[in-house]
Structure 1
């Protein structure tokens, strides 16, 4: 007991010594440095990898995109007032690049009103690098993950509910341009709403998120991520749904049906009437000659 008391007394005197505070400070610094050393290497490695990806994307951007969008993505304005050869990419985010490049719309062969979907020129790794570079220019929407747009993890009842909700959202917000079943349609000033059939789920999500070409931007504040996923589920359900009415004429609605009725229906009636008239004339001539 006396030993413990003497030991406690010595420690108490040392704590009150002039070097006690310095020793505690050094001990804290050593512990902090040890913790940083344990976690810092992984962070530094990730930062280096990200920078390498950005540098790779910049090299690709300078070769394939800078002639229209500028060396630093600032855009290029032509001599015509208000006309851009290529808009600024600052703040468009990685999702916009992944959509445009991933669907082959960019780079454009010829500047025009709207970029059509075509065979892509860059592979997945190159597209990811270019997206990383553009994302470094300013904050913008990131590339979505499969969890954002896939319903694979839902039960059958949850799938049907998602499709039903997505159908209501699509019919309310999208049919004016994309038609009731996503077949697309014409737009003013030479634009058009492309068909959504056969489009990758990720690209549909990115289109809603970034608003390419003539499309409006449906941010997560307008349409939440779950609602975007439901819209995609509805569109994919249309691809699996058979055409119970037979030939659907491309699903373009009354326009294609009206053209078919006039050209094929009424055209056939007119042709049949002409044939009847010509046949009747020949019959009368044969009777007169007899």
Structure 2
């Protein structure tokens, strides 16, 4: 009996063969999955061909702050794992590329090179860098049949503390602020909820369901067309502004009244 034959008949041989087979199967599976990740991620954000174009755009317009591999630098955070939705939100709203460093990137007109195609390509590339929330589909953004009243309840419970009841925004700490939602598209509102930009928390689907997100979007877009019963909206900022205006106007009227009464008494005397 040769040594090989004796090894094959050993009681542990079958287990060794099984472990080896499982290890080989695992390596093969991991290789296939890793190879398919860029394609799957690109399909989730756009087209497979967009990845190469997106990488070129990233290196030309984003790498100076975020690093050549999006690993992050002292002036920009890492983009690994942020997802395509975060890129679409930041770039389409003009917040990125940032013009000047500060506590918060303000909304501004998008850069000249930004359009639907370049945003899709850049998003597809970043999606391959660790995955993350994808750009919402048309079905996810369809507010047909959405309950705006329920959306208002959800908005007041989760968002009014920062964004005001009407989405007019408000000040936060350390130079940050909750921006106005009046110029935000339904897609940008949805993306902000799933990515949590700046100081905003993330509202994933387990916290606020996709249907509830559509209800909130319906509420936010509906109140934009509501008329102010008092006449002047005063930016819909809230009672502080209303009180200040009332105080200023009231004091001014009282001062004018006092001057008029005094002048009238002088004429009589």
Query: Same fold by TM (over 0.5)?
Result: yes
Output the CA distance in 1 between the equivalents of 2:51 and 2:121: 6
Give the count of matched residue pairs: 225
| Shift of residue 216, structure 1, vs aligned partner | 1.0
Secondary structure, aligned partner of 1:106: coil
Is there any run of 5+ residues in structure 2 with no aligned partner, and where? 1-38
Which of 91, 115, 133 is the equivalent residue of 2:125? 133
Q: Give the 5 Å matches for 1:240-259.
A: 240-259=225-244
Aligned to 1:237: 222
Which of 139, 144, 155 is the equivalent residue of 2:136? 144
Output the CA distance in 2 between the equivalents of 1:181 and 1:100: 22
Output the CA distance in 2 between the equivalents of 1:219 and 1:244: 36
Output the CA distance in 2 between the equivalents of 1:261 and 1:199: 31
Report the RMSD for the aligned CA atoms in angstroms: 1.9
1:52 aligned onto 2:37? no
Output the CA distance in 2 between the equivalents of 1:256 and 1:119: 28
| Shift of residue 149, structure 1, vs aligned partner | 2.0
Which of 102, 112, 119 is the equivalent residue of 1:112? 102
**Greater Cα radius of gyration, structure 1 or 2:** 1
TM-score by length of 1: 0.73
TM-score by length of 2: 0.79
Is there any run of 5+ residues in structure 1 with no aligned partner, and where? 1-42, 78-84
Deviation digits for residues 106-157 of structure 1, max 9, x if unmatched? 00100111111111120010011110111111110000012112223x3xxx
Aligned to 2:178: 193
CA pair 198-51 structure 1, distance change in 2 beyond 3 A:
closer
Q: Which has the higher contact order (CA 8 A, sep 6+)?
A: 2
| Shift of residue 164, structure 1, vs aligned partner | 1.6
1:89 aligned onto 2:79? yes
Q: Give the 5 Å matches for 1:1-290.
A: 50-77=47-74, 85-121=75-111, 122-152=114-144, 154=145, 159=146, 162-281=147-266, 283=267, 287=269
- Asked if structure 1 preserves the Cα contact closer than 8 Å seen for 2:149 and 2:219, the reply is yes
Structure with greater helix share of residues: 1
